[in-house]
Amino acid sequence: MRLTTIKLAGFKSFVDPTTLHLPTNMTGIVGPNGCGKSNIIDAIRWVMGESAASRLRGDSLTDVIFSGSSARKPVGQASVELIFDNADGTIQGEYANYAEISVKRIVSRDGQSSYFLNGGRCRRRDITDLFLGTGLGPRSYSIIEQGMISQIIEAHPEELRTHLEEAAGISKYKERRKETESRIKSTRENLDRVRDVRDEVEKQLEHLNRQARAAERWKALKEEQTRREAELRALSYRSIARALDEQGGALRQAEIEIEKHLAEQRQIEAQIESGRERHQAASEHLNAVQAEVYKVGAEIARVEQQIRHTRELAERLERSREETERAWAELGEHIAGDRAQVEMLRQALAEGEPRAEALQELAAQAAEALRTAEAKLADWQPRWDAHTRAASEAAQAAEVERTRLDYLDRQSLDLAKRREALEAERKAADVGALDAAAESLGAEHEAQRERVDTLGGLLDERKAAHERVLDEERQVQAVLNETRQQLQAARGRLASLEALQHAALGQEQGAASAWLAQLGLDKARRLGEALDVDAGWERAVETCLSGLLEAVLVDDPHALSGELQGAGEVDVALFAAAGAVAQPVPGSLAEHVRGPAAVLALLGQVRTAESLQQARAIAPTLPAPQSVITCDGEWLGPGYARVLRAAGKQVGVLAREREIHALAAQIGALDARAAELGERLEALRTEKFESERARDDTQRELYQAHRRMSELAGQLQGHRGKVETARARMEKVGAELAELAARSAELEGQAREARARLEAAVARMGELEEQRRALEAERRQLLEAREEARMNAREADDQAHQHALAMESKRTALASLEQALARMQAQQAQLEARRVEIAEQLASGHDPMAGLEAERQTYLDQRLLVDRQLVEARKALEDCDAEFRRYEQERQRVEHRLNELRESLSEKRLAEQESRLRAQQLAEAIAAAGLELQPLLDELDEAAEPAQWQQALADLEQKIRRLEPVNLAAIQEYEEQSQRKTYLDAQLADLTSALETLENAIKKIDRETRQRFKETFDRVNAGMQELFPRLFGGGHAYLELTGEDLLDTGVAIMARPPGKRVSNISLLSGGEKALTAVALVFAIFRLNPAPFCLLDEVDAPLDEANVGRFSSMVNEMSERVQFIFVTHNKATMEAAHQLCGVTMREPGVSRLVQVDLAEAAKLAGAA
């Protein structure tokens, strides 16, 4: 895989669209300081996903957009595109089959970045994933820019480890491990929640199972009850069917009577139809005579119209004759005038022909003069081009020498700055200050250790507080769940009781409900709902009010008594809802009841007794209206005794009403308790969140304190090493100062030579300037001559053209006049013929008038005859009308009798329909119960009596009441909860299996990570031990692990240049650090070569010998790795296969100049 092309537009100083082609594996980027070379490195880092503006040498990501210069305005967006050759399939996955891969990034002024892969929009994550394991990335070891050498060498062991991880290709494993850990955490949380929910569902299932079994038994009895009711309805259906047979015979007799009268009606209608035909014939005859009258009148009108038309035609012909005479005279005048103009135009054309030939000759002479002037100007252009090339070469030579002088001046300035820095370093070297700094760091380290201990204790306290909140939350949650279960059970019980109460009080749908709905009383309270009975006396009140508990409470029952006739065959009772409440009779049943006054008046006539014996003793002493009853419902009166033991539908109504009220109050209390617990639970969750956050904050502070303590320990160790190496450093400074003095003298000599060459180039430029002025003066003279010739040629052309246009205009006018003259002569001939024609028409126009007058008289005589025929036809039509009215009266009489018979038949059919409707309703009720009518009728005995089925239904009702109340919803709830538990069990198994799979994946990732990291570490360590002596010409270096666990251990570099024993890597010089970093990076590249390597002035701190060894190694590795390096060093430039120059001739705008050195060498050899 290779980087083949870099495209930049609007990125930093590359404002114009710029393309950098990279055909070789050794590309050097050169140019003066500040021209934008490093911007190319920043562009590559940016397009590969870099999101930190500081790493792109900016304050924000929009700083990469060109912000304008003295001559250019800012642009709105920046874009960079990298094109890779993936012919070797380095990139895997969905892009493995692409031979070329394009990665592009665009950013606008609003800070929004867009990424593109092969032209398609993608995420930044997709770009990062594309390069995982290849060694490429915005912060990988493949990009070494200014300042990163010291960062690599002085990096913490944990940071240095990341480069080895990228080389080992385990960065993608780390990403997968992080994702897997997050999924494990989420799976464990889901597992805990599913277990809690499953345990709660198991508790609910135990309770619902008991309710469901009772409900199933209740449903079985209700199904049997439904079948018995259907069989009872089938018996009623059979009796109705027999009645329908009798009604059918009466219907057939009535239909025969109707058929007889229909025959009489048809006879009369036939007579009416015959009279209608005679009437139609008379009417048609009248219409024919009427049409003849209209026809004769129309002919008379036509003849009179022709007479008027003939007179008008004669008048028009006379007017036309006059107009034709006038037009003939005018046309003769026009013909004479046009003939005169034709003669004039012919004479003018004959005179203009010689003038046209002379003007054409003048135009040809002017064109020849123009061609001569242009040829002289063309001869001047090669001399000007030769002068321009000579001037450009002289200016380029001068620019080269100026650039060389600038470079030498910068080198001299850098040497001076380096001397000043070394002198300042020698003066500033203070071992005592370093000792003091080490003691200060030791004190700060001890203080940080105490802070770690304090934060550890605080963290333990906050963890304990968090656990206390969790315990209380679990307790409140358990109480809330129990309260919700009680609330659900109470609501189920209330729903069942209300359903039974509605059935007992007759509030279900039926005939009575329909009648009450018509009166607007379907929502009115029932008597059973309005009574408040003392405990123990419910059965007594139900016995006395048996059949009245479902009575409807209204304002005035007597006001509605007139509507009772519309109730049909249903039982309806009305009670006044209010009324004057009198003091109840002492010892009466009314003392134990609170309710409407009318009910209390009834119960006031019933005395109470504690036992049946007491009631039997009291009964004989009571007056006729009064009676006595016990609390068990044993009712004795004058001449009667009554006790209700059967399970009627109103038995238990009052006790059930009291339980309904009690359940409603209990539900309200449970609702309030659940709301209170919910608020407390929410408060505990908030408190849990706060305590968790406080715990995490403390843990974070403890981690930061530990980290700071580790940093202080590292700094303390570094300061102690600095004290040991300070004196050795001073010796080295002295040697370097002597070397800098020699280098400064050499640069002065090179500067003198460059200035001499610059002066020669400037003198040559002066000579060429004199030549330029002479050539420009000659060019001005030639241009003036050409312009004069061009104006003369244009003027001659214009004159010839104008004369030609005038001649052509006269020819066109002559042709037009000749055509017009011929046309007018033809018109004159036509007008002469028209004059003759009009004279002939006027002479023959007097003959038709006499014939038209005779024709009009004939039609007037015919009109008198048809008027008499019209009177006779109208008389015949009136006779037919009288006969038709007589037949119509007879038909109406027969129809009246038929209507009477039909009404009688309709009444019989309505009665039959009512019977059929009742039968249909019974059949529909049976079908609604899920049964079929015919099988029921076949199964029933012919002698079956409805009373037997009514008794069986009463027994079933009693059995059902013994089971009540039941929770009918328990069956469905039990099924739903069972399904939910099955689902939860499966989910629990899935989560457990998933957790096990994820944990195994973590173990596998860790195992492969350890294995790959260890293999990579050993191979990179071996490579560094090999490359370090080659770069330094001796010495040795190696890598060292800082911990035991290969998953998180850091990596340290140990390096000893030839003849030195250093205890810390930071004690090396800048050049030594650079070579050490290069040895590490190249060792990594030998193991896992990234597609390319970017080096930004890595050779800057190296001397000539080290640069040679560095260039040799880069050249050797370029066989497998593509290198792109920024350099100012000549030796490094010589090693490049291709040089790319970055210039900034326009201030603030970078441009590229590319040179293939191999091709340049071939051209130089050929020259």
pLDDT band at 955 (very low <50, low <70, confident <90, very high): confident
- Tell me how far apart the alpha carbons of residues 705 and 454 are, in angstroms, rounded to a whole number: 10
Specify the pairing of strand 100-108 against strand 77-85: antiparallel
CA–CA distance, 752 with 762 (Å, rounded to integer): 16
- The pLDDT value recorded for residue 509 is 44
CB 107 within 8 A of CB 113: yes
Q: Which residues of 709-744 are buried (b: 16+ CB within 10 A; e: fewer)?
A: beebeeebebbbbbeebeeeeeeeeeeeeeeeeeee
Q: Report whether the peptide linkage leading into residue 965 is cis, meaning its omega lies within 30 degrees of zero.
A: yes
Nearest C-alpha neighbor of 620 from the set 636, 632, 604: 636
| Rounded-to-integer distance, Cα 708 and Cα 703, Å | 9
| Radius of gyration of the chain, Cα coordinates, nearest whole angstrom | 61
Banded model confidence at residue 1160, pLDDT cuts 50, 70, 90: low
**Residue from 109, 94, 25 nearest 61 by CA:** 109
pLDDT score, position 8: 92
Angle at 647 (CA atoms; ends 645, 653), nearest 5 degrees: 105
Pair 597, 578: CB distance under 8 Å? yes
Tens of pLDDT along 1047-1094? 888 888 888 888 777 667 777 777 788 888 888 888 887 777 778 888
144 closest CA partner among 1031, 1102, 1098? 1098
Least confident among 147-156, 191-200, 625-634, 972-981: 147-156
35 annotated as belonging to a binding site for a ligand: yes
**Which pLDDT score is estimated for 7?**
93
* Burial per residue of 361-398, b for 16 or more beta-carbon CB atoms within 10 angstroms, e otherwise: eebeebeebbeebeeeeeeeeeeeeebeebbeebeebb
Mean pLDDT, residues 115-142: 80
Q: How far is residue 1138's CA from residue 675's CA, in Å, rounded to a whole number?
A: 79
Pairing of strands 2-9, 1138-1143: unpaired
At 6 the pLDDT is 92
CA distances from 4 to 105, 145, 986, 1094 (A): 17, 20, 55, 14
Secondary structure (3-state) at 113 = strand
pLDDT above 70: residue 579:
no
39 is in an annotated binding site: yes
Ranges 415-424, 531-540, 744-753, 841-850: which has the least confidence: 841-850
Predicted local confidence at residue 82, as pLDDT: 92
- Residue 938 is encoded by which pair of tokens? 């076949």
Q: Which residue has the higher pLDDT, 692 or 674?
A: 674
908 marked ligand binding residue: no
Give how far Cα 654 sits from Cα of 523, 844, 871, 1120, Å: 19, 126, 97, 99
Contact 505, 653 (CB under 8 A): yes
Whole-prediction pTM: 0.37
* Sign of the CA dihedral running 407, 411, 417, 418: positive
CA distance linking residue 1067 with residue 1073, whole number of Å: 9
Contact 14, 80 (CB under 8 A): no
Average pLDDT rounded to a whole number, residues 344-355:
76
How far apart CA 530 and CA 575 sit, in angstroms, is: 11
> According to the model, what pLDDT value does residue 368 have?
80
In a 3-state reduction of DSSP, which class is residue 674? Answer: helix
* Residue bearing the bigger pLDDT, 503 or 145: 145
Lowest-pLDDT choice from 404-408, 462-466, 1036-1040: 404-408
Least confident of 489-493, 515-519, 845-849: 845-849
- Which two three-digit tokens encode residue 119? 């032209």
**What confidence score (pLDDT) does residue 260 get?**
81
754 by Cβ neighbours in 10 Å (0-12 / 13-18 / 19+) ranks as buried
Do 584 and 597 touch, CB atoms closer than 8 A? no
Tokens of 895: 């129809």
Q: Where are the beta strands (DSSP E) in 724-804?
A: none
Q: Which pLDDT does position 987 carry in this prediction?
A: 77
List pLDDT tens digits, range 433-490. Answer: 766 777 777 788 788 778 878 888 888 888 888 788 888 888 888 888 788 778 777 7
Q: How confident is the model at residue 946 (pLDDT cuts 50, 70, 90)?
A: confident
**Is 627 part of any known ligand binding site?**
no
Averaging pLDDT over each range in 309-323, 660-674, 891-905, which range is the top one? 660-674
Q: Which residue carries 């059970």 as its tokens? A: 489
Any long-range contacts for 846-853 (C-beta under 8 Å, 24+ apart)?
Answer: 848/310, 849/307, 849/310, 852/303, 852/306, 852/307, 852/310, 853/307
CB 645 within 8 A of CB 664: no
Pick the residue with more confidence: 714 or 186?
A: 186
**DSSP code per residue over 1037-1070:** EEEEESSS-TTT--EEEEEE-TT---SSGGGS-H
Band the pLDDT of 844: cuts 50, 70, 90: low
Which residues are within 8 A (CB) of 6 and not within 5 positions of it... i.e. 6 or more apart? 19, 20, 22, 40, 43, 44, 80, 81, 82, 83
Q: What pLDDT, in 10s, does the model give residues 808-821?
A: 777 777 777 777 77
Q: Bridge partners of 575?
A: 553
Q: Is 1064 known to sit in a ligand binding site?
A: no
CA dist., res. 529 & res. 653, Å (int): 9
- With 80 as the cut, is the pLDDT of residue 19 above it? yes
Q: Which two tokens stand for residue 316?
A: 């028009």
How does DSSP assign 402-422, residue by residue?
HHHHHHHHHHHHHHHHHHHHH
| 1115 in a labelled binding site | no
Provide the pLDDT confidence category of residue 647 given band limits of 50, 70 and 90: very low
What is the spatial distance between Cα 103 and Cα 128, in angstroms, rounded to a whole number?
A: 11
Q: Report yes or no: 573 and 552 within 8 Å, Cβ to Cβ.
A: yes
What span, in angstroms and rounded, lies between the C-alpha atoms of 1076 and 1037?
8
Convert the pLDDT of each residue in 410-435 to its tens digit. Answer: 778 877 887 787 777 677 666 667 66
Orientation angle between helical segments 969-1032 and 171-428, nearest 10 degrees: 40
Please give the mean pLDDT across all residues of the chain.
77
